Amino acid sequence: MSYLEFGAIPLQVNPDLQEERDQASFHVTELTHIIDGGAEKTQLRKRLEKLIYSDPDFRRFPDVRTFGTKSEFYGASVLKSIKLFQLRKEHQWTDEESDIVHSLVDHGHALGLHHAMFIPALERLATDEQKAKWLTIAKQYKILGTYAQTELGHGTYLQGLETTATYDPGTQEFILNTPTISAMKWWPGSLGKSSNYAIVLATLITRGKRHGMHPFVVQLRSLEDHQPLPGIKVGEIGAKMGTLSTDNGYLILNNIRILRENMLMKNAQVSPDGTFTASAPNQANYATMVLLRVRISEFAYTNISKAVTIGIRYSAVRRQSKLDPEEKEAKILEYQTQQYKLFPGLALAYAILFSTKLLKKKYREAQTEIMKGNLQSLPELHCETSGSKAFCTEHMLKEVEIIRQSCGGHGYLAASGIGMMTSSSAPLVTVEGENTVMYLQVARYLLKRFSNAKSGEQIEGCTSYLSMNHAPYLCPFLSEKDCRNLSSLCDVYRYRAFIVISRVVRTVQTDIKDGLPQHDAFNKNLVHLVRAARAHCYFNVVKDFAEAVKELDASIQICTVLISLCCFFAVHGIVENSGDFLQTQTIGVEQLKWLKNLQTSLLAEIRPNAVALVDAFDYHDITLTSALGSYDGNAYERLYQSTEKDSMNSQEVHSSYHTYLKPFIQEMNKAKL
């Protein structure tokens, strides 16, 4: 073959990848249907895929992402928003359809916060009359909004927000102000350049009294020429590690007057004379964050499943070194260490998938009650969503980075698609509640439930195991074979969580008894409290995965593969955290030895189906945007082809040669003479 033909993509699938597909023990399409939630959902996704990817602009976005300047990238991202909004309107997409499309077109776009937070906030925090006014025009895209809560000085501690909304009964208006530099809004997505409205979260002051954080609808920019309105200073906060398609912004408000009706009053009201009344606890105003924590958990699935698709397909076509000196070089997927890098991410993707399906269901049920004014399920929902968001994003980020490393040098290329995934995954551990803080919210709930259980209350829900009548614990693993039993594995996780939680409760109580104030006793044990929350979340994810697999209505072949994967997920988690399991005596040294053996046996067991398990995620090549992970496995040709799109290659000799290099070379050559 001449080098001129190197960039031509072969028409056939790479035989190494085809070989993997041929040896799968199950039908990939059947598993795809399970992942999508049914054959009709797969059809729906495919229909939307076809619609979106028939538009050349949507196919072009990945190239802009890789090779454009920040400003070009932002411009393309605005176009992406507009196209999505037009399509959504034209096709009357439901929220579900819209979510599918978002997962197809790369997560970010300039006005992403309009549907992700602005509209959900109006739906959750506005009264019916306010919805009639604001929601209608927001849905018609007559106004474009964002959610401006975080300030330069405070993101986590919402009670510390300094932006003020002071009620003036004389004019029946609120006056919004940014009283200090740390009070300026800082970070909100779509704020810098895109939105003309925002829901601004500010401390409400009426009749001289502060009433905590409340939501206010504020117009930021003119609907005529997009100029910021008088008294408003708004702009971009600067270059970031990733999430380039979103214009995260700052906002300074100087005596901005808004109508009394612009305070979203579902949960608290200010009457014309300035009387404050609350019809729900202040935390009801956190509802938009609760929703986004569910969405971000789902997004963790999207990222890890895409990353592992790239990693596994590439590992099936990349050959390096010899396993058997007599044979040709081995696929890197053959190396046990490579499987050890990739399969935890594979198992995690399925674990998050099943666990978030359940979380979403619980969220929907709880939200229906909450909208009717029944807030009983809110504390449990807050615990579950905070824990899920923290667990899923923490583990996803860790595994995405390991998968990037598993692709060797090429994983570091933008064309691999995986480096971008690391940078877009990174903020997810911080946004919508920083993970440590979220785990501490879970711990707070666990402590409460633990003491409720101690006082004899029958606990329901995700902490029900705290009120189990704990007979003396006996490790269920009496042989290596026992370690495969999913309900025994769940038991081990459950007891580990129970013991870690009860120990930290005891330590905190002892510290308080010994005279430490409660806040000091907490701070002295924060690391252990986070450990307890992690143990609780791990147990719940293992349990959700195991139950989903147990209840699966699928072929025996699929059940067998998913049981192995679930078993691997649980076993791997114990081995990785063995210190904790040994210390809580939920397993002994002998059991750890069995579990380690089982862990490596499972690598070999999963190996033949690895490619089929990622094929089942069914990512379109455009969605993946990866030269390494495309369906046909022609990685080298695609890598070489990707160089054509690099503007540096548009001229043989770069202009800098004429400006700098040529005079330098000439100078050096003159000097030699």
Ligand X SMILES: CCCCCCCCCCCCCCCC(=O)SCCNC(=O)CCNC(=O)[C@H](O)C(C)(C)COP(=O)(O)OP(=O)(O)OC[C@H]1O[C@@H](n2cnc3c(N)ncnc32)[C@H](O)[C@@H]1OP(=O)(O)O
CB atoms within 10 A of CB 83: 17
Q: Is 419 annotated as belonging to a binding site?
A: no
Pairing of strands 256-259, 173-177: antiparallel
Q: Is 286 in the site for ligand X (CB under 6 A)?
A: yes
CB of 249 to ligand FAD, least distance (A): 9
Please tell me which residue in 20, 151, 162, 432 is annotated as part of the active site.
432
Rounded to whole angstroms, the Cα distance separating 436 from 359 reads 20
Residue 305 tokens, joined: 């499943």
- The DSSP-derived string for 30-89 is HHHHHHHTSHHHHHHHHHHHHHHHTSHHHHHHHHHHHHS-HHHHHHHHHHHHHHHHHHHH
Q: Which does 248 bind (CB under 5 to 8 A by kind): ligand FAD, ligand X, none?
A: ligand FAD
CB of 247 to ligand X, least distance (A): 13
Enumerate the β-bridge partners of residue 269.
277
Contacts with ligand X, 371-410, as mask; x by CB under 6 A: -------xx--x----------------------------
How many Å from the N-terminal Cα to the C-terminal Cα in the chain? Answer: 44
Side chain identity at 280, as an amino acid letter?
A: A
Q: Is 99 in the site for ligand FAD (CB under 6 A)?
A: no
Rounded to whole angstroms, the Cα distance separating 227 from 269 reads 32
Whether 432 is catalytic is yes
Rounded to whole angstroms, the Cα distance separating 398 from 394 reads 6
Considering only residues 62, 112, 188, 344, which one is a binding residue for ligand FAD as defined by CB under 6 A? 188
Q: Is 30 in the site for ligand FAD (CB under 6 A)?
A: no
Q: Which of 411, 387, 376, 350 is nearest to 614 (CA)?
A: 350
Considering only residues 299, 301, 450, 538, which one is a binding residue for ligand X as defined by CB under 6 A? 299
What are the b/e assignments for 132-167, b being 16+ CB within 10 Å?
ebbbeebbeeebbbbbbbbbbebbeebeebbbbbbb
Give residues 434-463 in contact with ligand FAD (rule: CB under 6 A). Answer: 434, 436-437, 440
Side chain identity at 412, as an amino acid letter?
A: Y
Rounded to whole angstroms, the Cα distance separating 473 from 586 reads 8
Considering only residues 87, 176, 296, 616, which one is a binding residue for ligand X as defined by CB under 6 A? 296
Q: Is 275 annotated as belonging to a binding site?
A: no
Residue facing ligand FAD at closest CB distance:
155
Q: Is 423 in the site for ligand X (CB under 6 A)?
A: no
- Nearer residue to ligand X within complex by CB, 418 or 499: 418
Q: Is 471 helix (H, G, I), strand (E, B) or coil?
A: coil
Contacts with ligand FAD, 542-581, as mask; x by CB under 6 A: ----------------------------------------
CB of 53 to ligand FAD, least distance (A): 27
Q: Which of 135, 148, 133 is nearest to 186 (CA)?
A: 148
Q: Is 519 in the site for ligand X (CB under 6 A)?
A: no
Considering only residues 431, 453, 533, 566, which one is a binding residue for ligand FAD as defined by CB under 6 A? 431
Residue 62 tokens, joined: 């990945």
The answer to whether residues 569 and 545 touch, using CB atoms and an 8 Å cutoff, is: yes
Q: Which does 436 bind (CB under 5 to 8 A by kind): ligand X, ligand FAD, none?
A: ligand FAD
Q: Is 543 in the site for ligand X (CB under 6 A)?
A: no
Binding positions are 150, 189
Q: Please give the positions annotated as active site.
A: 432
Residues that bind ligand X in the complex, under the rule CB under 6 A: 102, 107, 112, 115-116, 147, 149-150, 155-159, 189, 283, 286, 289-290, 295-296, 299, 378-379, 382, 431-433, 437, 441, 444
Binding positions for FAD are 150, 189
